[in-house]
Amino acid sequence: GRLTNVTRTPEANEYNPRFSPNGQAITFQSNRNGFGPDDGQYDVYVLGNDQVRRLTTRIGWAGGGLAWSPDGTEVLAAVEQWEDGDPFPAWTNWLELWRVPLHGAEPAVVERSSQPGTFYGAPDWHASGRVVVARFDAPVVYPDLFVMRLEGDVAPERLTETVYGNTDPRWSPDGNRIWFASERDTPGMSRLYVMNADGTAPEPRFQEAAVDMYPVPLENGKRVAFV
């Protein structure tokens, strides 16, 4: 029904809103404490009880997506970095993952996600502890999907390998399937797909002549919201 402006910051840009597991809070990335709408510095904020609280202070630049931990105690943030303060060198920037606690600890980078030329974005964190992300290594410009665990030293498991990009992954609530957007069959036009959690049996959905992205499975995939 009616739209409600919950942040009211005309001087800033805000991206990647995600509801907490209990539905009582929203986390998002914003440059409200930067230098105006053109500032690339994005921090992580949480909105709850009609109050906005800043969770990070200048940990990186453009925001690449957020995901809540299953227990709602921390947020996983994808944040762009680069060397020497220059936003446009040739492949010296990268997109790394940060674990951002809501209380009692400092944000910390996921070390194995932090290396120049590697880009981790659009994370989604399942109750099983698995995180699905879109990742690519420069000079490749199209991401594929990987499943990783934040604990331990297990290498990410590759789910897709296509010439054109696979992005916006989301777990089904039961963790058995992953919805995502891809240009694999229609270069230059993103469409929705769903596959098994191990990357097998990808199926196209809603293949009308339109660009579809950002799927959010509801009722275990019986319904899906998307843009």
Nearest alpha-carbon partner for 169 in 138, 201, 200, 147: 147
**In the predicted model, is pLDDT for residue 109 greater than 70?**
yes
Higher pLDDT, 169 or 82: 169
H or E stretch covering 147: strand 144-149
What whole-number percentage of the chain has pLDDT above 70? 94
- Per the prediction, the chain carries an average pLDDT of 90
The pair of structure tokens assigned to 150 is 């934040």
**Whole-prediction pTM value?**
0.91
Nearest alpha-carbon partner for 18 in 170, 166, 131, 135: 170
Q: Which residue, chain included where needed, has tokens 């709408």?
A: 37
The pair of structure tokens assigned to 101 is 């606690």
**In the predicted model, is pLDDT for residue 37 greater than 80?**
no
Which amino acid, residue 6? Answer: V
Nearest alpha-carbon partner for 100 in 47, 45, 145: 45
SS3 content of the chain, % helix, strand, coil (to 5): 5, 45, 55
> Using alpha carbons only, how large is the chain's radius of gyration in Å?
17
Q: What are phi and psi of 22, to 5 degrees?
A: -90, 0
* Mean pLDDT, rounded, for 160-185: 94
**In the predicted model, is pLDDT for residue 119 greater than 90?**
yes
pLDDT of residue 90: 52
